[in-house]
């Protein structure tokens, strides 16, 4: 069995250390003596860029060069402690610990968060993480080495079974005929773990035993990993119905490259004169807020005399003023965006609908657009980061809560269709439908979520919910969400904002 890829090790390790109190703890550290006094915090700037291993690095957002100076682990920990106290949304819920007692800054950072829970019982802060600067830079691009399929774990016992949710066009997986509903049964003739489906680099070749949807005979395919660029906008279609034309759009990733594709899709819908739109966000775990903002404007426009607020950033009480961002009617190039001026939008959702995707839901509701939710409860992340670099790592600690034009942002347990059988988040009009129809392709009007949206549009009815209709997923949340080695990374499960270099 392969070892976990580096970025997954970091993520899992951070979670483990948080639960265990930090294996980086050392009661007799040989590092520089700490100036720690409980509840007394020096400015973070006193410790910034004082590193055990100083380097010269480039800020990937502005290409400015910075040089670290020689420091100690205690300096790095003190920076984390002071920065967290100054900017973490729930800074007063952090248990203050002596930074000199921890020899690993990543382990120490994992402790600098709240341990509180939401109403449903899930951790209040599920999104605390850090990555190396080099890894961060790779995530700023929309490319990664993989096979080109996105999958869901169905079960782990007696053996692991996964099902493909969709594939990237022209990827090795697509060229081998893999598609939604294909099950992976073995890798190189053996039982496998999910990590065996995530290649370490390009040109990694393995033999997969697969069972296509509707088939009873497994087949063998050989796949070699390649550098693949995400295609975030797909299945742009218009359907004639008795209630008028309706559009469908699958949107999987709030990447910068999606802007032009979204503009083209909206123009097509406008030219076709659609009356309603089904926006499929079930596998969209977040990304760039500016993309969510522009898409929301293109869906709804606005008829208010002043531009309404798409979202406001509510920081901790040390910075009580809201920072507001209006709906953007201009593209990144400064051109006027097209708009459909829709009064309602049908949004297909799942547990992976997170962060910037939830901002679309909340932002539209803030300007009184009817959001009809069909699918499952969203992930529940009304929070965002202003990422910070120190000593070769990018640290992401929740800095703000997102509010809409009506100052609402309390959806830490997600959004749920009004008839949901799951632990409920904020209830919206619509239908609970489990995302377990793997026999129909995404964008097919007979696919369960899309079909339910079409029926609800006609008469307001929902499919009957039965125990067998509940989506069968892995009991391990992080593996259930592991639909892709890139998009599931916590880097993308956030309201991403450019970091500020110290």
The dihedrals phi and psi of 102, each to the nearest 5 degrees, come to -125, 125
Within 71-218, strands assigned E span: 129-132, 143-146, 149-155, 161-167, 183-187, 205-211
By C-alpha distance, which of 301, 293, 308, 310 is closest to 258?
293
Token look-up 């406008």 returns: 270
- Residue closest to 380 by CA, chosen among 125, 206, 149, 207: 125
Position 142 scores a pLDDT of 52
pTM of the model: 0.86
Which residues of the chain are under the pLDDT cut of 70? 1-34, 139-143, 467-502
| Complete DSSP assignment for 285-323 | --EEHHHHHHHHHHHH---SSSPPEEEEEE--TTS-S-E
pLDDT of 464 reads 94
Of the candidates 192, 182, 22, the one whose C-alpha atom is nearest the C-alpha of residue 102 is 22
Separation of alpha carbons 78 and 391, rounded Å:
12
List Cβ neighbours of 12 (8 Å cut-off, separation of 6 or more): 4, 478
Quick check: 301 and 270 in contact, CB under 8 A? no
Instruction: Kindly report, as residue ranges, where domains of CATH 2.30.42.10 are found in the chain.
Output: 145-229
pLDDT of residue 468: 59
Predicted pLDDT at 423: 72
Per CATH, which fold does 145-229 belong to? Pdz3 Domain (2.30.42)
Q: What is the pLDDT of residue 20?
A: 37
Query: Considering only CA atoms, which of 181, 104, 105 is closest in space to residue 150?
Result: 181
Residues with Cβ within 8 Å of 62's Cβ and at least 6 positions away in sequence, in order, are 501
Would strands 226-229 and 143-146 be described as parallel, antiparallel, or unpaired? antiparallel
The gap between the terminal CA atoms of the chain, to the nearest Å, is 41
Distance from C-alpha of 43 to C-alpha of 60, rounded to nearest angstrom: 25
CA dihedral 120, 122, 124, 125 (to 10 degrees): -160
Class of domain 233-384+399-469: alpha beta
> What count of other Cβ atoms lies within 10 Å of the Cβ of residue 104?
18
**HSE value, Cβ hemisphere, 13 Å, CA-based, for 324:** 14
Decide if 99 contacts 34 (C-beta within 8 A). Answer: yes
Q: Where in the sequence of the chain do the CATH 3.90.226.10 domains occur?
A: 233-384+399-469
Decide: helix, strand or coil at residue 396.
strand
CB atoms within 10 A of CB 350: 28
The C-alpha angle with vertex 319 and arms to 318 and 321, in degrees rounded to 5, equals: 140
Q: How many CB atoms lie within 10 A of CB 281?
A: 27
Q: Given the DSSP bridges, would you call strands 398-403 and 383-385 parallel, antiparallel or unpaired?
A: antiparallel
- pLDDT value of residue 335: 97
Which secondary-structure segment (H or E) carries 65? strand 65-67
Q: For the residues of 455-476, what is the DSSP string, one character each?
A: HHHHHS--PPP-GGGS----SS
Rounded-to-integer distance, Cα 81 and Cα 91, Å: 10
């Amino acid at each position: 069995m392969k070892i976990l890829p580096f970025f997954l090790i970091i993520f899992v390790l951070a979670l483990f250390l948080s639960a265990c109190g930090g294996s980086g703890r050392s009661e007799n550290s040989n590092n520089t003596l700490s100036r720690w006094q409980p509840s007394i915090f020096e400015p973070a700037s006193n410790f910034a860029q004082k590193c055990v291993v100083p380097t010269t690095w480039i800020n990937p957002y502005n290409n400015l060069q910075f040089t670290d100076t020689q420091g100690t682990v205690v300096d790095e920990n003190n920076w984390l402690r002071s920065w967290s106290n100054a900017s973490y949304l729930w800074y007063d819920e952090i248990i203050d610990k002596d930074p000199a007692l921890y020899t690993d800054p990543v382990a120490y950072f994992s402790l600098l968060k709240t341990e509180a829970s939401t109403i449903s019982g899930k951790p209040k802060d599920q999104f605390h993480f850090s990555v190396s600067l080099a890894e961060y830079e790779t995530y700023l691009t929309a490319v990664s080495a993989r096979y080109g399929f996105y999958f869901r774990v169905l079960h782990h016992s007696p053996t692991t079974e996964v099902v493909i949710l969709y594939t990237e066009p022209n990827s090795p997986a697509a060229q081998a005929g893999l598609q939604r509903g294909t099950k992976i049964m073995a890798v190189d003739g053996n039982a496998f773990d999910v990590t065996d489906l995530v290649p370490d680099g390009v040109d990694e070749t393995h033999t997969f035993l697969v069972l296509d949807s509707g088939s009873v005979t497994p087949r063998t395919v050989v796949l070699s990993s390649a550098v693949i660029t995400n295609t975030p906008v797909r299945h742009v279609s218009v359907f004639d119905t008795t209630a008028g034309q309706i559009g469908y759009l699958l949107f999987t990733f709030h990447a910068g490259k999606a802007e032009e594709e979204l503009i083209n899709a909206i123009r097509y819908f406008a030219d076709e004169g659609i009356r309603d739109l089904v926006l499929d966000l079930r596998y969209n775990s977040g990304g760039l807020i500016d993309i969510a903002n522009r898409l929301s404007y293109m869906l709804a426009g606005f008829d208010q005399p002043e531009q309404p607020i798409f979202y406001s950033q509510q920081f901790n009480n040390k910075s009580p003023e809201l920072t507001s961002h209006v709906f953007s009617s201009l593209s990144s190039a400064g051109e006027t965006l097209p708009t459909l001026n829709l009064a309602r939008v049908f949004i297909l959702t799942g547990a992976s609908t997170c962060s910037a995707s939830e901002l679309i839901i909340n932002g539209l509701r803030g300007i009184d657009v009817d959001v009809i939710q069909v699918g499952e409860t969203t992930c529940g992340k009304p929070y965002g980061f202003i990422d910070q670099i120190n000593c070769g790592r990018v640290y992401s600690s929740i800095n703000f809560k997102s509010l809409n034009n009506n100052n609402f942002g309390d959806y830490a347990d997600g959004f749920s269709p009004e008839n949901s059988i799951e632990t409920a988040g904020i209830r919206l009009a619509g239908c609970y439908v489990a995302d377990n129809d793997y026999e129909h392709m995404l964008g097919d009007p007979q696919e369960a979520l899309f079909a339910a949206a079409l029926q609800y549009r006609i008469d307001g009815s929902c499919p009957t919910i039965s125990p067998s209709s509940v989506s069968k997923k892995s009991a391990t949340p992080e593996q259930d969400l592991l639909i892709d080695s890139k998009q599931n990374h916590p880097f993308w499960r956030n309201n991403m904002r450019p970091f500020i270099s110290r």
